[in-house]
């Protein structure tokens, strides 16, 4: 009898987990993300913004990365504990060499924690030129600590009119004026100018989870819903002591 119960549990566990495969072909593209400036950026599969990656606790994620850039790159899964998996963490020249131009590398993640994470380049500030995407790990069905009617994701990015390499040159060159020209950033929400971001619809009597992910380079963002309080339940991918607030300051890399 005990053997049958154990076998049943084992089969159920296998059946409720998935092997998620995501393919990223990283390359330079030309885009207008802020509704003002057409510039070169780094995209995935020819697109920006990069679509969010979603999976569930217990899943394994296979991220196949092909480097179509003219320089090395790596990908960091920001927020994952990487228990016994640090060789997949991504910081260039710390846990791995950069993926050479024209070459490929596969990241393997066993997802043991739920929360709002993100994936981004971890070499030569490629994050600043667009190599960043939200990474959402959902609780297993029935294991959620909180129940809600709908789940919204809002990503925040600071977006400059020129590439990082150009801004760095003007910043460190003693012959250039300081601060550098065009050193301000536009604020992007869900990949586009915040003034034209799609409206969120709320219905009275329903509960909504709003995931805030600051994928910015150097700028913080403030978020509020005028006339409403929010109930904070998670910070940086970990369930927190819940509390009410009427506004949230979210710094770079915070979720």
pLDDT tens-digit readout, 184-201: 789 999 999 988 888 889
Q: How many CA atoms lie within 13 A of 138 on its CB side?
A: 18
Q: What token pair was written down for 31?
A: 């885009």
* Residues 33, 13: Cα–Cα separation, whole Å: 42
Angle at 69 between CA 64 and CA 75, to 5 degrees: 40
Asked if the model's pLDDT at residue 249 lies above 60, the reply is yes
User: Taking Cα atoms as reference points, which of 79, 111, 103, 84 lies closest to residue 95?
Assistant: 84
- Check pLDDT > 70 for residue 9: no
Express each pLDDT in 31-55 by its tens digit. Answer: 999 999 999 999 999 999 999 999 9
In this prediction, residue 11 carries a pLDDT of 40
Model pLDDT, residue 78: 95
3-state secondary structure the chain: CHHHHHHHHHHHHHHCCCEEEEEEEEEEEEECCCCCCCEEEEEECCECCCCCEEEECCCEEEEEEEECCCCCECEEEECCCCCCCHHHCCCECCCECCECCCCEEEEEEECCCCEEEEEEECCCCHHHHCCEEEEEEECCCCCCCCCCCEEEEEEEEEECCCCHHHHHHHHHCCCCCCCCCCCCCEEEECCEEHHHCCCCCCCCCCCEEEEEEECCCCCCEEECCCCCCEEEEEECCEEEEEEEECCEEECCCCC
Taking residue 232's Cβ as centre, other Cβ atoms within 10 Å add up to: 13
Q: What pLDDT score does 8 carry?
A: 34
């Amino acid at each position: 009898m005990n053997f049958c119960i154990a076998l049943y549990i084992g089969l159920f566990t296998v059946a409720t987990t998935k092997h998620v495969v995501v393919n990223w072909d990283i390359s330079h593209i030309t885009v207008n993300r802020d509704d003002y400036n057409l510039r070169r950026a780094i995209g995935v599969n020819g697109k920006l913004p990069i679509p969010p990656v979603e999976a569930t606790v217990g899943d394994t994620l296979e991220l196949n990365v092909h480097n179509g850039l003219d320089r090395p790159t790596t990908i960091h899964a920001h927020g994952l504990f990487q228990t016994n998996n640090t060789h997949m963490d991504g910081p260039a020249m710390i846990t791995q060499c950069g993926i050479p131009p024209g070459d490929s590398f596969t990241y393997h993640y066993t997802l043991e924690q739920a929360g709002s994470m993100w994936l981004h380049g971890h070499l030569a500030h490629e994050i600043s030129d667009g190599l960043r995407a939200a990474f959402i790990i959902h609780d297993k069905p029935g294991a959620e600590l909180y129940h809600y009617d709908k789940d919204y994701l809002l990503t925040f990015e600071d977006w400059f009119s020129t590439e990082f390499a150009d801004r760095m040159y003007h910043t460190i060159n003693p012959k250039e004026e300081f601060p550098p020209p065009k050193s301000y950033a536009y604020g992007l929400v869900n990949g586009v100018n915040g003034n034209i971001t799609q409206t969120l619809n709320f219905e009275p009597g329903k509960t909504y989870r709003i995931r805030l992910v600051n994928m910015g380079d150097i700028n913080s963002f403030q978020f509020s819903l005028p006339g409403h309080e929010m109930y904070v339940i998670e910070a940086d991918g970990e369930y927190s002591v819940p509390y009410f607030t009427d506004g949230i300051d979210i710094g770079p890399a915070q979720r």
